[in-house]
Structure 1
Amino acid sequence: MVALIVILFPPMVIAFLLVMERVEEPLRRPTSPREVAEFLQSATPGEVDTLAASGIRRAMARWRRRRRSRVQKSTEPLV
């Protein structure tokens, strides 16, 4: 049992670190001035409330999700 833990622990730690790297990467990316200008022009009242309550990171994340879902809907093929 101990040998199994000794063998599996290092790969599990490495896998965890790789997953956390992917999670943290978008958090380290700064918001560009162009994105802020686009946000201020097209933000919904809910996104502006999020900006006031939670800050620019959470508001930009909400805005990006909305934009991404809008782009995905517009690129769906018409059957």
Structure 2
Amino acid sequence: MSIDFFGGAANEGPAGPPKCSAKGCRSAAAWVLVWNNPKLHTPDRRKTWLACEEHREHLSQFLSVRGFLKETVALADWTED
């Protein structure tokens, strides 16, 4: 399975803790939204967005309406395997 992060990696890096993927948001991420666009990606491919508490519902709804959202995992519990 291939996993790509949009908005930063799960581990803290040189730029500090991972940030929310919502446009313009610089809050610390608390959630990983795992998704796949079946028109563009193979079935085993997984993309990820990071979300803060404030934007979790909005980003989840955006992906869900399109049928892309596969799962939502707390960042603290996230593993790439």
TM class by shorter chain equals under 0.3
Bigger Rg over Cα:
1
After TM superposition, the score normalised by the length of structure 2 is 0.26
Asked which structure has the greater RCO (Cα within 8 Å, sep 6+), the reply is: 2
